[in-house]
Amino acid sequence: MTSFRRKRLGVAAAVATATATLFALCGPVAAEAAPTPAPATSSRAAAGDDWLHTDGNRIVDEDGHQVWLTGANWFGFNATERVFHGLWSANLDTVTQQMAERGINLVRVPISTQLLLEWKNGQAAVPSAVNTWANPELKDRTTLEVFDAFLATARKYGIKVLLDVHSAEADNAGHIHPVWWKGSITTEQFYSAWEWVTDRYKDDDTLVAMDIKNEPHGKQSESPRAKWDGSTDQDNFKYACETAGKRILAVNPKVLILCEGIEVYPKNGTDWSSTAEADYHYDWWGGNLRGAAEHPVDLGDQQDQLVYSPHDYGPLVFQQPWFQGTWDRTTLERDVWDPNWLYLHKNNTAPLLIGEWGGFLDNGPNEKWMKALRDLIVENRISQTFWCLNPNSGDTGGLLNNDWTTWDEAKYALLKPALWQEDGKFVSLDHQVPLGGEGATTGISLADLYGSG
């Protein structure tokens, strides 16, 4: 039995990287006029009342009102380009506004520990993968200043941000490495990078959540690999989640801490010393949270900031054993989702946020899986961030088409029911700003929905 997850960035990423410098210098033949530049600042102008915490299996605002985090991933800061992919042709403000107007109230932003350390050490560079014809407001901005500009733009349109350490190194394939340390990137640097970025944005409730590490994984016979138990071993992801989480919360006790699963977990009667395949349960990278039953993540006095965050994919990413033969939502829920992570929701242990799910529409098994998980998300109001906005994700595609301008309307239609809507309006996670920004006709704010108190 095997489990495998590989987000291939696709040929488009390599081609775009090669042409980004030319675009940055020359620009396309024609481009729309850019909007007013967003200020490069990490300060928050609003009241700072949008922090979230948990209550059982719900995520709630500071008044105790339930919120539903429903969004998408936009990658690139984790990769060699060190900025969002697509800025080689698309305008940052335009794409962000489109996401808000279409109901995405949370953007998961993958990043690397290496880039965070570069920012911490004052080594942020001006990226070559930004087309300054399409993004004149980003001219001469460093990667850190581009991130700040995105936060300001997200704030303007009522979007909140989830930061995800996707890999140790700034590498398009960095997520394939199974653990959170690599080469010159140590575990202590991983923790200190989290502390630094938390401190920088501790007063900005645009950045409401931290996903400690993307898809820790590795099989029982591999080294290194991520495990989950009660030890303080370096490769125990449960311990890494607790340590990073507590250090983050010591800086900002109001930010959500997301902890993903791993890949394999020992069956009853066995332990991590076994290298026998038959002794383990398997799931997607980051999807196996069986260990949280016996060894839950402990954040101490800030336990109500903990959210578990599994990932789940369909047969076009990998033909898992549970996709063999006859299967449907009932078998997936019974055999895969319940034992690996859904039990945490059903037992009212903690909220879930499915950090990655998505894929190509094939009018077949992959679409069948996607609709089944979508329906589970909607019926249980489970928070989620769809993978992904980017069209250059090789094994899933994206919500945007290859032009980075138009949307894949069929895929968006599949996702749309899993985006938070009330009375036909998309709901922001901001108390003041409706989703879509001031004057938006498609979205409302939390104050619009719940009142001011």
Catalytic residues: 215, 356
Among the listed residues 101, 107, 90, 98, the one whose alpha carbon sits nearest the alpha carbon of residue 31? 90
Question: Residue 298 has which token pair?
Answer: 């402990």
* Contact assessment for residue 290 and residue 10, using Cβ atoms and an 8 Å cutoff: no
* Contact assessment for residue 388 and residue 75, using Cβ atoms and an 8 Å cutoff: yes
* Contact assessment for residue 51 and residue 110, using Cβ atoms and an 8 Å cutoff: no
Residue 154 corresponds to which amino acid?
Answer: A
* Sheet containing 443-444, strands listed edge to edge, beginning at the edge strand earlier in sequence: 421-422, 425-427, 443-444
Interatomic CA distance for residues 451 and 453, integer angstroms: 6
Residue 1 corresponds to which amino acid?
Answer: M
- Say how many C-beta atoms besides its own lie within 10 A of residue 452's C-beta: 10
Instruction: Fill in the DSSP letter of residue 300.
Output: G
Q: Which residue has the tokens 């630094």?
A: 196
What's the first-to-final CA gap in the chain, in angstroms?
52
Among the listed residues 389, 388, 372, 391, the one whose alpha carbon sits nearest the alpha carbon of residue 380? 372
* Contact assessment for residue 387 and residue 393, using Cβ atoms and an 8 Å cutoff: yes
Q: Where are the alpha helices (DSSP H) in 218-257?
A: 237-251
